[in-house]
Chain A
Amino acid sequence: DGGITQSPKYLFRKEGQNVTLSCEQNLNHDAMYWYRQDPGQGLRLIYYSQIVNDFQKGDIAEGYSVSREKKESFPLTVTSAQKNPTAFYLCASLPLAGGGGKEADFGHGTRLTVV
């Protein structure tokens, strides 16, 4: 089945540690996104990428890093510089071929908790 796979579903991080969240898609989509969801704040864009080896900062990129070495993969690293990383993280992808207007597909999310 085609889709977006986020792993792990739950992740616990000790203070001062870096952790990496995985996002893989087999939809052949060009663009990929990372969002952070906090109660009452909706979805806030962290990073997005339209093509391999290129990505742009979103509204809350500080303390996060990404890479796009393959079209299918867009891992997100939460660094120790992110002071309040406990949140629900959502990955999305979007096809760009054929013009605009396509809707994005979402993974099931990773819940990160600092312990």
Chain B
Amino acid sequence: AQSVAQPEDQVNVAEGNPLTVKCTYSVSGNPYLFWYVQYPNRGLQFLLKYITGDNLVKGSYGFEAEFNKSQTSFHLKKPSALVSDSALYFCAVREAGAGSYQLTFGKGTKLSVIP
């Protein structure tokens, strides 16, 4: 069975400081990894993904994430946080090449950027 862990329920960071939101995963084969953001009472918006190739992937709004196969991690990062980045962030995994397209999410991390 595949799973995603987001060990922090909440992350607080001052505006202008770098931010990191952590994600580790478990999957039988190779992973496809995704980050999504959710604003209150809305659906999820896609930020970025790792499929193959370069371990550092860049996405929307200045976010990036680093895939680390040995640590089974896919942490989300941004060099300089904005107040508007405050939201709920979800990491997700799907097994590459599998016949099943089950998409599994973590519990989410609430990011608060303090002015």
Contacts and interface: CB of A to CB of B under 8 A. Distances in A.
Contacts, number: 67
Contacts of A94: 101, 103
A101 B49 contact: yes
A76 interface: no
Interface string B22-60: 000000000010101000011111100101100000000
Given A50-B101, A109-B43, A42 B106 contact: yes
B49 A103 contact: yes
Contact of B108 (A42, A50, A105): A42
Main DSSP-derived SS at the A contact region: strand
B107 interface: yes
A45 B104 contact: yes
B103 A108 contact: no
Interface in A76-115: 88, 90, 92, 94, 96, 100-101, 103-109, 111
A43 interface: yes
Chain A CB within 10 Å, residue with most, of B6, B43, B52: B43
B87 interface: no
A48 interface: yes
Interface string A14-47: 0000000000000000010101000011111100
A31 B90 contact: no
A41 B107 contact: yes
A33 B102 CA distance: 9
Contacts of B52: 101
Interface of A: 4, 6, 31, 33, 35, 40-45, 48, 50, 56, 58, 88, 90, 92, 94, 96, 100-101, 103-109, 111
24 contacts: A31-B101, A33-B103, A35-B105, A40-B107, A42-B107, A43-B44, A43-B105, A43-B108, A90-B43, A94-B103, A96-B101, A100-B94, A100-B97, A101-B51, A101-B52, A101-B96, A103-B46, A104-B34, A104-B46, A105-B46, A106-B36, A107-B43, A109-B42, A111-B41
